[in-house]
Amino acid sequence: MKSDKYNKIFKHNKDWVANRIQKDKDLFEKLNEDQNPDFLYIGCSDSRVPANIITGLDIGDLFVHRNIANLVTNNDLNVMSVIQYAVDFLKVKHIVVCGHYGCGGIHAALQQDSFGLLDNWLRNIRDVYRIHFNELEEFTDQDKKLRRLTELNVVEQCINVIKTSYVQKSYIKNGFPTVHGWIYDLKNGELIDMNIDFKKTLKKVQLVYNLK
Ligand code: CO
């Protein structure tokens, strides 16, 4: 049986369409023709971090990819296709990797437990831990350690985005996209720009992963 919560979705949708058409009667016709978003957002699947709502970006403004713990791995055809499409065809100006404090994926990766199939996915976060082992082992406060791993995971995933040939080629040719690391804080709703130095990171990445 469909619950009230379920039915409410379609009622809301009807109201939303009516409301948007009232403000701009051609909106859906225009959107049906094309999309021209400036941003690609790669974030966590967590229900508490909805990309459009936390950024205030409207329908058509944000190309979105979400997975557990906002990972960018080179053997994931899904995220790699999203990045290539966003860069080569949509010509986005910014690619954002957005992690969040309180991330269940990060938390699970720090536990010495097995989670079945998920272990393969979480291993990417454990790899981040291994890369930054010395820094992370210094933490005695578990919450602070989790927060730092969340930040370092965002940095490493930004590097994984920059490693792709699509991003490097487009940046050299067009001067975009630039890659940004953000953190969303579940505790207060605040969105934090980590201000990653894109040019410096790109230069460093190109020393090893130069794909002209
Ligand atoms: Co998460």
Token representation of residue 145? 């350690």
Q: How far is the CA of 181 from the centre of ligand 1 (A)?
A: 15
Token representation of residue 100? 């969040």
Q: How far apart are CA 30 and CA 184, in angstroms?
A: 32
Read off the pLDDT of residues 4-58 as tens digits, 9 standing for 90 and up.
999 999 999 999 999 999 999 999 999 999 999 999 999 999 999 999 999 999 9
Could you tell me if 148 and 140 are in contact, meaning their C-beta atoms sit under 8 angstroms apart?
no
CB burial of residue 189 (10 Å; 0-12, 13-18, 19+): exposed
State the pLDDT at residue 212.
67
Read off the pLDDT of residues 68-102 as tens digits, 9 standing for 90 and up.
999 999 999 999 999 999 999 999 999 999 999 99
**Location of each CATH 3.40.1050.10 domain in the chain:** 34-205
pTM: 0.96
So which residues are the catalytic ones?
44, 46, 48, 100, 103
- In CATH, what number does 34-205 get? 3.40.1050.10
Q: How far is the CA of 179 from the centre of ligand 1 (A)?
A: 20
